Structure 1
Amino acid sequence: MGTTEITPEEMRAIEMNSAHIGVPPAIMMENAGRAVADLVEREAKNKKWETIHIYAGIGNNGGDGFVAARHLANRGYRVHVFLAGSPRDLVTPEAKQNWKPLSISSSIKKTFIRDSSQVIPEIFEADVLIDALLGTGVRPPLREPYRSLVEGINHADAPLVVAVDVPTGLSTHPGDPIEEPIVKAHITITFHLPKTNMSKAVNHVGKLVVADIGVPPEAHTQTGPGDVYLACPNRPRDSHKGQNGRILVVGGCLEYSGAPAMAALAAIKSGADIAVVAAPKPVAGIIASYSPNLIVRGFDGDYLSPACLDKIVPLIRSSDVVLIGPGIGLASETREFVSRTVEASDRVVIDADALKLVQGARFPKNTVLTPHRKELEQLTGKKSENHQQACDVAMGYARSNNVTILLKGPTDFIVSPTGETKTNTTGTPAMTTGGTGDILAGVVSALMVRNTPFRAACAAAYITGRAGEAAQNQSGEYITAFDVLRFIPRVIREERLFLARGER
């Protein structure tokens, strides 16, 4: 089991991105169920096994079992489906859709099990038992009738037990214990990639078969709703002020006051609880006037300089993420200030003019840089003739400097220090208006509170682009950065619910 294991949330995100691309869950369920049927047929045909019992739950794992039942019955096997519940209990559209042909089939026997007293002796009569009860969403302990069904499957001593996606009872959530009862399968056929904890439960997983269910490669290499789902989880019910992120935006100068305000507001709109702006005193009052949601700290001078550091370092230490650059300017005294601020930070986003001043700085482990192509050339000293060359330059710089780069353009390119890459195609030419880059940097900083730099950058690029599209749809091409800003919370909400709202 050397292949990378993924969590249930990561698999959900892959499914969401697949649906966004055009491969909906219904197609993947059909492919999964057919793969189960094909595996069972390969195992059974030379052994003259004819009786197949499928124990199905009321979710998508059960739906996979329904598809397998249909295919196996069509191939002449005696199929009996035991549903843990009733058809009206089915919880997903795909499971309901695939129950329909079973409900009218005269060749497939159906039994409904509503409580543990209905676990029947027929469980001992099957040549093949297929466990399609519960999938990756299960958390211990098992409730009834699932607990009794799992115990029954394990006591049945069938010649072949096949688990669909994951043996029922095995939690695939990181950190969860391996807690009995768990189906002891001879073969587990999992879909797309192995799941977390499978390598720790080989006695239950048995032989692991990984089946292709049609997930397009782009579900991994392009941003989509799944990236938002992963990066923007629901807040804990007992969360308190500050727990969801304190962002420090360091920027502004005598000429530029709007950029740091825009970035800080974007951070709040993206989930941060508190955004503090550190800016020169001549513009601090102007920045504060943009919104009562901002906390602004003013420092002596028309530009931020090393003389400010003693007072800014405590702000850095009390913040989860530092965003430096929006409106900071290119004054000579600011260069040393930028480098020392970056080096004093644990998690930092570097944007705008700071990208031109940060050469030679020692980047912390969790760093995101957000250049466009020209800024990348200034940062690296390497010219690029086209987008692909720029991507290659970004990849090399990310590796050698242990940073994540979000290269902005008509197609955004995101690369991690290890070479993991994604592209983002959301957005619109209307977003060439000033301030949208500050918004993107603010979204990245908010999402970095609870995510890796790469995951935060991917989701932020997608969210900001979708917000720009929404602003254009409402107002036409002539929009402002504030128009984009307004749509960020709505985009996050809608993209997290992508499958739930019916785009399956």
Structure 2
Amino acid sequence: MKAAMAEEMRRLDEQATQDYGIPGIVLMENAGVAVVREIETIMDGVSDKKICIFAGKGKNGGDGFVAARHLSNRGAKIKVFLLAARDAVQGDAAIQLEILIRMGVDVIEVTGIRDWDKVKIGVAFADCLVDALLGTGYGRDITGAMAQAVELINHAGKTVVAVDIPSGVQADTGQIGACAVSADYTVTFGLPKPGLLLYPGAACAGKWTVADIGLPAALLETPALKLAVLTQRDISRRLPERRADAYKGDCGRVWAVAGSTGLTGAAALCTAAALRSGAGLVTLGIAAGLNSIMEVKVTEVMTRPLPEIVDGAIGLAAWGIIEQEAADSQVLAVGPGLGRQAETLALVRQIVEKSQVPLVLDADALYALQDHTGLLGKAKHRPVLTPHAGEMARLTGLTVADINENRLDVARMAANEWQAIVVLKGAPTLIALPGDEIFINTTGNAGMATAGSGDVLTGVIAGLLAQGLSGCDAALCGVYLQGLAGDLAAANGMAGLLAGDLLKTLPAALAQLQTAGSAGRKSDG
């Protein structure tokens, strides 16, 4: 599903009016009605329910006026608190306000100190509060009366429904300033906005839904929109299909170079995940001194001892074997627990330059690329990188704070500069492609913030690449699949969830997606 930045959404609205002749007031009407439908579902009907709508003077307020009218017609007891003078409301919103006033709906201008007494009384007896104050176009800190309204909404202890986006949340980044509405539900229009998924804004959005307000499908699906939100439907249709007569050689071979003294668990998790994601054969290259222990640690994974430079660490002498094994594999995963000996890092850089098969690079492989990201452009195949914010900070020279405040921009910049598929791990994980395309993942949970989760992701992506997916599709499916496995693993709680638990739930997550994909293909046929 496509997503839109605030300015992109504004242009889509303009195109709907200019190119298709859809008046803005029609879109506003549809938006308000969509909010009403959602409130009816949330409140199990609205007859005799007391609902307070906080409205600003702009289009977001206009959506609120429409909602107020239809809720009143459905029997709800409505109070509209207008955070502006009536004559400050312009355009389509002014028309909707005039209709509301002629209907006799209680509209209270909140422009003076005494007006707040009415607001507080209304809120105290309300069943539901609706935030129609600012919408997506507001990009400054909330101050004054608006801030007072936000604080009142947040401390009322009532069900809160936000119109399009919670007031105070930046639509493009998810950042918030001095304050923002903390909604239980958000009804957004046309397409999702990044601020609903990116933290801290995502924490303010509650459960969000996308309402169809009548924008032409061609506008919502235009290739000019480079941002998308991953859905089960998107992923199910990309996953590899397994033939009934398949054997292990058909399902792809993963060659992984990972692990060092004290970090063998990372190698075990990565390689097991590659198998759990459907790869037919997985071989682990490990320092010769660790090979015996790894043969005990892993069962289904084959091992190949590599020459050491010191106990438990490999160097340039391992390249010949790595190249040989890669020739019989579809993908090479490098980095989990590999170690940071100077010669180990030099080996990683040699692999990036010389590998003839697609690469998935994580952890210590990313550490090796600090100050050497220019090598990524020399890779034969577009590599997949899976950094978390700290690793991205080392690679880019930015601070972790800079990255977390501008995750979309940083991921986009890195993918274009490095000509790589960049999986920026976090909440949520982003997948950026050269050419400005970015996908926002929608699976996963806080329980996955545990050691080893990234190693599992590396293995899942490698396993999908081995089965014939492109680097792009393997990254998208891998991120979504690993997150879904995490959601299944967290069914009994997030605290205490282990990376190894993801290995147990990966087959069920994969089956769920493949079943959905099979059903989708049948319906298309």
Interval containing the TM-score (normalised by the shorter chain): 0.5 to 0.7
Structure 1 position 489, deviation (Å): 1.2
Task: Give the number of aligned pairs.
Answer: 299
The equivalent residue for 1:426 is 443
Corresponding residue to 1:356 among 346, 367, 387: 367
Q: Deviations over 1:297-336 (max 9, x none)?
A: 1123221100111222101111100000011011111111
Corresponding residue to 2:479 among 443, 458, 461: 461
Contact 2:354-2:379 at 8 Å conserved across structures? no
Q: Deviations over 1:336-368 (max 9, x none)?
A: 100112222220000011101024233333210
Change (3 A) 1:219 1:374: closer
Contact 1:403-1:416 at 8 Å conserved across structures? yes
Unmatched runs of 5 consecutive residues or more in structure 2? 4-214
Structure 1 position 375, deviation (Å): 0.2
The equivalent residue for 2:288 is 281
The equivalent residue for 1:444 is 461
The equivalent residue for 2:266 is 259
Following the alignment from structure 2 to structure 1, what is the Cα–Cα distance between the partners of residues 518 and 385? 34
Corresponding residue to 2:231 among 219, 224, 236: 224
The equivalent residue for 2:498 is 480
Query: Is 1:375 equivalent to 2:382 in the alignment?
Result: no
Match of 1:255, SS? coil
* Moved segments of 4+, more than 6 Å: 213-220, 499-502
Match of 1:326, SS? coil
Q: Deviations over 1:414-463 (max 9, x none)?
A: 11112211001311111111111000011111112322212211111111
Unmatched runs of 5 consecutive residues or more in structure 1? 1-13, 19-209
Alignment map for 1:51-66 (pairs within 5 Å): none
Following the alignment from structure 1 to structure 2, what is the Cα–Cα distance between the partners of residues 490 and 220? 29
Change (3 A) 1:420 1:219: closer
Structure 1 position 470, deviation (Å): 0.8
Structure 1 position 242, deviation (Å): 2.0
Contact 2:388-2:426 at 8 Å conserved across structures? yes
The equivalent residue for 2:513 is 495
Following the alignment from structure 1 to structure 2, what is the Cα–Cα distance between the partners of residues 230 and 336? 39
Match of 2:384, SS? strand
Query: Is 1:308 equivalent to 2:318 in the alignment?
Result: yes
The equivalent residue for 2:154 is none
Q: Deviations over 1:173-228 (max 9, x none)?
A: xxxxxxxxxxxxxxxxxxxxxxxxxxxxxxxxxxxxx9728978999711121233
Following the alignment from structure 2 to structure 1, what is the Cα–Cα distance between the partners of residues 515 and 301? 29
Following the alignment from structure 1 to structure 2, what is the Cα–Cα distance between the partners of residues 451 and 274? 16
Corresponding residue to 2:420 among 391, 403, 409: 403
Contact 2:226-2:436 at 8 Å conserved across structures? no
Query: What letter matches 1:379 in structure 2?
Result: L
Corresponding residue to 2:489 among 471, 475, 479: 471
- RMSD of aligned residue pairs (Cα, Å): 2.9
Following the alignment from structure 2 to structure 1, what is the Cα–Cα distance between the partners of residues 294 and 337? 11
Match of 1:243, SS? helix
TM-score for both structures, normalised by structure 2:
0.53
Query: What letter matches 1:385 in structure 2?
Result: D
Change (3 A) 1:459 1:476: same
Corresponding residue to 1:326 among 312, 331, 336: 336
Following the alignment from structure 1 to structure 2, what is the Cα–Cα distance between the partners of residues 368 and 499? 24
The equivalent residue for 1:269 is 276
Change (3 A) 1:369 1:307: same
Following the alignment from structure 2 to structure 1, what is the Cα–Cα distance between the partners of residues 510 and 322? 32
Following the alignment from structure 1 to structure 2, what is the Cα–Cα distance between the partners of residues 285 and 494? 37
Match of 2:251, SS? coil
Corresponding residue to 2:347 among 333, 337, 358: 337
Contact 1:363-1:401 at 8 Å conserved across structures? no
The equivalent residue for 1:157 is none
Query: What letter matches 1:326 in structure 2?
Result: P
Structure 1 position 475, deviation (Å): 5.3
Structure 1 position 468, deviation (Å): 0.8
Following the alignment from structure 1 to structure 2, what is the Cα–Cα distance between the partners of residues 365 and 297? 24
Q: Deviations over 1:380-416 (max 9, x none)?
A: 2233524242432221121122110000001111111
Change (3 A) 1:291 1:482: same
Following the alignment from structure 1 to structure 2, what is the Cα–Cα distance between the partners of residues 234 and 394? 30
Contact 1:366-1:452 at 8 Å conserved across structures? no
Structure 1 position 278, deviation (Å): 0.3
Following the alignment from structure 1 to structure 2, what is the Cα–Cα distance between the partners of residues 231 and 247? 20
TM-score for both structures, normalised by structure 1:
0.55
Query: What letter matches 1:322 in structure 2?
Result: L
The equivalent residue for 2:241 is 234
Contact 2:430-2:439 at 8 Å conserved across structures? yes
Contact 1:254-1:282 at 8 Å conserved across structures? no
